[in-house]
Amino acid sequence: MRSIILLALFTSLCAAIAQHPNGEWRTPSLVARVNNQQVANPDNEADDEDPVTKTKTPKSRVLVIGEPKEAVDRWFDWDETCTDQTERQEITAAFQDALELAATSSKFLKALRDRLPKQPGSAANKDNVAFVVQEDPAFTQMFYAQDNHIDDVRETFDVLLQKMKSFNGRNGDKNGVRFICDKEGKVKSAKGESFCGTGDTAAQAITTNAGDHGIIESKYSFDHSASIVFCPAFFDRTRFPNMFMIAGVDIPKTLDHVDCKERIMLHEWLHLKFTRDIGPSPDEIGFEKAAKVAGKSSPRKADWANAKKNCDNYAWYALYAYWNNNGDACGQDAWPAGVRKPNKP
């Protein structure tokens, strides 16, 4: 049974969390790996050959579990590092709910666009901006209330919805997305260092596109598949729980309490070439940093050029809009009290 938070959109732009029929939250039911678990090489990835010694190293293989359906249909592949059932459950829940967040964000933005007092043009309209400021604090902070870019942001969520739910036609013959589980920090860079890093600068997850060799150690560098390495930080449930865990506990549903694995999942998929191909800069992470990216200069003004290429602006918009419009919090502002908002269009 899926752990999905069902995100139903109401006319008032409010979404409600729906529990399972028995009233309990459950993680997805997956089969634990057993001895001699099957692995496969569905894309016929060639062994890595040392140019000097000619020694061949097999590429890491795809773990064949048979669940969830998303993996069976190759919306993503399990790398053979993902032997732990709990890790697979958490990743599956993050993937499924990230899709739900993308769908709901698209609906929120369509409803916002349809209610604008004036037709958007190529430049921001002051009446529309004022309306957005009043109606959608999430879009105000993450995209500076720029009405002329509502459709652009919505299109990004629609692209995610299409490409996360497909295999064929993603990017020529480079269709796959391999999920690599690195809870122990054992995956190395091409230089032999920790791929995820350590200390305060350690990554939460890292995306490598198909054919981008010389970044990650060769056995995880694929010709036909992108990869997302889930780093030790990703599996820290204190810092990054799944959304359904946040929904089920009595804590303030403000942005300083709702960071989660789903936000990381959305962020990483936006780096992939066949979605938005967002590069490594500015790559500012966190709701405050993302909001600051949306504006610049003094006096402050919109900075769409940077906001559109910062993955966390989209990921935090999705979380911010959801918690603004969820259940009892409908119509409230999930921005935490005491934290200064950087954007006042």
Question: pLDDT tens for residues 140-160?
Answer: 999 999 999 999 999 999 999
Point out which residues pair with 229 in neighbouring strands.
Answer: 180, 206
Hey, how many other C-beta atoms are within 10 angstroms of the C-beta on 183?
A: 18
Instruction: Report DSSP state, residue 283.
Output: -
Determine contact, residues 323/243, Cβ cutoff 8 Å: no
pLDDT < 50 regions, the chain? 1-34
The whole-number pLDDT of residue 32 equals 45
Biggest CA pair distance of the chain: 68
Residues β-bridged to residue 78: 179
Instruction: Give the three-class secondary structure for 302.
Output: strand
Q: For tokens 């992470």, what's the residue?
A: 285
pLDDT at residue 36, as a whole number: 66
Size of the chain in residues:
345
- Specify the pLDDT at position 13: 42
The topology under which CATH files domain 8-329 is: Collagenase (Catalytic Domain) (3.40.390)
Model pLDDT, residue 134: 97
Centroid of chain to Cα 5: 15
Tell me the one-letter amino acid at 12.
S
Please tell me the distance from the alpha carbon of residue 231 to that of residue 284, in angstroms, as a whole number: 18
Q: Which of 329, 243, 181, 236 is nearest to 19 (CA)?
A: 243
Phi-psi region of 332 (alpha: psi -120 to 50; beta: other; left: phi over 0): beta
Cα–Cα distance measured from residue 157 to residue 266, given in angstroms and rounded to the nearest whole number: 9
Per the listing, tokens 């350690």 go with 202
Query: Residue 146 in 3-state DSSP?
Result: coil
**Number of H-type helices and E-type strands within the chain:** 10, 12
Show contacts of 156-161: CB within 8 Å, 24+ apart: 156/270, 156/276, 156/314, 157/102, 157/103, 157/105, 157/106, 157/109, 157/314, 157/318, 158/102, 158/106, 159/275, 159/276, 160/99, 160/102, 160/266, 160/269, 160/270, 160/275, 161/99, 161/102, 161/103, 161/106
CA distance 343 to 233: 30
Peptide bond into 282 cis (omega under 30): yes
What is residue 32's DSSP assignment? P
Could you give the 3-state DSSP secondary structure of residue 306?
helix
